[in-house]
Amino acid sequence: MRILRRCLLLSIFAVASALAEDTNTSITINGVTYQDYRWGTVTPTTVSVFHRGGVATIPLEVLSPELQKRFGYRPVDAPAGRPATSGSKVKLKFVKVDSEETNSQDGYGENAVDGNPNTYWHTQWHGNSPGLPHEIIIELIPPSVIKGFTYLPRQDESDHGTIKDYEFYVSDDGKNFGQPVKKGTFEPGREEKVETFAPIKCRFIKLKAISEINGLPWTSAAEIGVIQSGENTDLMPATRIADYICTVADDFIVDVYHNGKIVPDDQRRLLFEIFGATAERIEVPVYKGDWFVFNVANDRLRWNGSYYFAAAGMTFPNAIAFQSKVGDRHWSYCDEVDRVSRFIADPRDHGNPVQSISTPWDQGNDRIKGVTSPAWSGDPVWGRSRLTWIKFVAE
């Protein structure tokens, strides 16, 4: 799907001139690969990267030390084996694991939060080795706003069970975790791994190991920690507004950004494609304070030159929580490539009010109702160019 979007985009828009200067082949950041990229605007905390599909805004804290130095960023170092925190440190309480070795080894799950890097949680291996994925659930006391987590692999002579690919979840009740707030691949080595994401308030966290560095069926962890946000926890959003988002576009969405970060393709499910027009389900929960940016493209040669983009936030099973609407202050657009980086990264940059479409795709409204609910009563919206960025802010 992404290859199709890229090919269509390059055939529609003359983006080569924007990428010609200081263009590199590819770079992978936080598990996302950007093709034909070049660096753009640098802020104290972010850098924009222009790539084959548009532009992304990258937090400097997730870059390699070499790139951080290049862009003048100096991360605040946390003590080894402990989470970086702001204010009073949250207490981590072990809840449960899906597997632990307790017969031939002290591999109890509680070892992952005992503050001792010399002990570790290890899944069962004596007599039986349950296969991946494996997971551990931890409670935060009190519930706290976090902006990341840490993972310290076992520190003895063996690396068995060291996590390679992971998913990280949060929850208010310890039962409903929804979609992961972060997924990716840890760098190899015994050093503490630090992963960050947009601040979110929660009571429980879950780390799920998808694969192991040696291809073995085990999981191990010396310490798991959280990174507390430095922002006022009383003002931080925790209200869940929607469970996922459905969209219909003529022609297609190039990229989706959630809180300034690109949404991976595996969290975007194609529902249909009709002669270029597409519908998607974005498998990302929406919380109060979140913002989404949809980079939408249109081909004037399709559907007699009509346009269409509509979206709705959905709660299970199929209730509409919000929908695209002309005149709704939560929806805005930006067509200016030189300022789209800020538009993506900053929820306070409201751009311009979304526009109504004079010649909308005649099947659009029926299609959005088909993937959401017959109760959909929103509007198709757009900017002023065939390539536009449309933002929704969940205030």
Question: Residue ranges of the domains in the chain?
Answer: 2-66+239-393, 91-228
Average pLDDT of 190-207?
91
What's the whole-number mean pLDDT along residues 177-202? 91
Three-state SS annotation for the chain: CHHHHHHHHHHHCCCHHHHCCCCEEEEEECCEEEEEEEEEEECCCEEEEEECCEEEEEEHHHCCHHHHHHCCCCCCCCCCCCCCCCCCCCEEEEEEECCCECCCCCECHHHHHCCCCCCCEECCCCCCCCCCCEEEEEEEEEEEEEEEEEEECCCCCCCCCCECEEEEEEECCCCCCCCCCEEEECCCCCCCEEEEEEEEEEEEEEEEECCECCCCCCCEECEEEEEECCCCCCCCCCCEEECEEEEEEECEEEEEEECCEECCHHHEEEEEEECCEEEEEECCCEECCCEEEEEEECCCCCHHHCEEEEEEEEECCCEEEEECCCCCCCEEEECCHHHHHHHHHCCCCCCEECECCCCECCCHHHHHHHHCCCCCCCCCCECCCCEEEEEEECC
Evaluate if residue 234 carries a pLDDT over 50.
no
Mean pLDDT on 20-40: 71
Q: What is the pLDDT of residue 230?
A: 65
Separation between Cα atoms, residue 282 and residue 293, nearest integer Å: 12
- Region 128-149: what's the mean pLDDT? 93
pLDDT-derived band at 388 (thresholds 50, 70, 90) equals very high
236 — pLDDT class (breaks 50, 70, 90): very low
Tell me what the mean pLDDT of segment 206-216 comes to. Answer: 97
- Residue 80 has a pLDDT of 34
Q: CA neighbours within 13 Å on the CB side: how many for 210?
A: 11
The pTM assigned to this predicted structure is: 0.48
Token pair of 196, please? 């960050």
| pLDDT of 78 | 35
Whether the CA torsion 213, 84, 180, 107 is positive or negative: it is positive
pLDDT at 218: 97
Task: Specify the pLDDT at position 19.
Answer: 32
Lowest mean pLDDT across 26-30, 301-305, 355-359: 301-305
Residue 379 pLDDT > 80 = yes
Mean pLDDT of the chain: 84
- Return the CATH fold of 91-228: Jelly Rolls (2.60.120)
In which band, very low, low, confident or very high, does the pLDDT at 27 lie, cut at 50, 70 and 90? Answer: confident
Mean pLDDT of 58-84: 60
